[in-house]
């Protein structure tokens, strides 16, 4: 059974899904960041021992998220495609043709494929989206008057047990005016962020998302699953 967190931000409701997707209920908008399609094929081309089925996993995850929420609008928060055109682009073309949602790509630093290629698929490429006090970008940004949803960082949190046990998990990382989404792609790294007492961290573990309890210690705030 899949478990996800829901929270209110500026009187709007957002569902945090264990795939790394975030669903804006009132607007029927699904946000997904850092899929990095094409990365597996890119590394395999140069001899990296990456399983071929990792390519299919990304599309299976996309299908699962879209089929669950059935959004009116699907917005990718950058780094949808990792590199220049390769064989995975053809798979993406086929996948995009099956999606009835309007698709928007907020261009990220890895999105070097011409916007014209996306436009042929009916996908709009933009630098950002502003909607009712929310700012959707690829890179985290602080802008007065907006709450920012972004990606790029591939955030993770380190959980500490009562001994020296530690566990590294991807997470949704929320500060007062910003939330950074975890990377959606299956072949991506993570970067550990250290929360302060005003931050909220929602870790992703398997089919669940859970809020991490922050405990203060002599070294500052640490993350504990206990």
Per-residue pLDDT tens for 111-168?
Answer: 889 999 999 999 999 999 999 999 999 999 999 999 999 999 999 999 876 666 788 9
The Cα–Cα gap between 23 and 29 comes to 6
**Helix, coil or strand: residue 67:** helix
**Helix, coil or strand: residue 223:** strand
Contact 1/151 with Cβ under 8 angstroms? Answer: no
Mean pLDDT of 75-85: 85
The CATH number that applies at residue 95 is: 3.60.21
Calculate the average pLDDT of the chain: 86
Our count of domains for the chain comes to: 1
User: Which residues span the domain enclosing 143?
Assistant: 5-224
pLDDT tens readout for residues 108-125: 998 889 999 999 999 999
């Amino acid at each position: 059974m899949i478990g996800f967190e829901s929270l209110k931000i500026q009187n709007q409701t957002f569902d945090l899904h264990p795939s790394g997707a975030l669903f804006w209920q009132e607007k029927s908008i699904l946000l997904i960041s850092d899929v990095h399609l094409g990365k597996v094929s890119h590394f395999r081309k140069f001899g990296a021992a990456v399983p071929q089925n990792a390519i299919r996993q990304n599309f299976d995850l996309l299908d699962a998220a879209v089929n669950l929420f059935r959004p009116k609008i699907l917005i990718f928060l950058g780094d949808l495609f990792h590199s220049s055109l390769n064989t995975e682009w053809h798979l993406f073309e086929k996948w995009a043709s099956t999606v009835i949602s309007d698709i928007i790509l907020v261009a990220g630093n890895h999105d070097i494929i011409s916007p014209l290629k996306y436009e042929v698929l009916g996908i709009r490429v933009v630098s950002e989206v502003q909607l009712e006090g929310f700012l959707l970008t690829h890179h985290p940004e602080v802008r007065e008057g907006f709450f920012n949803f972004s990606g790029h960082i591939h955030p993770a949190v380190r959980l500490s047990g009562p001994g020296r046990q530690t566990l590294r998990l991807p997470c949704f990382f929320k500060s007062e005016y910003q939330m950074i989404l975890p990377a959606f792609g299956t072949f991506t790294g993570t970067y550990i962020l250290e929360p302060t007492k005003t931050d909220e961290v929602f870790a992703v573990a398997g089919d669940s998302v859970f809020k991490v309890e922050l405990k203060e210690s002599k070294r500052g705030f640490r993350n504990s699953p206990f």
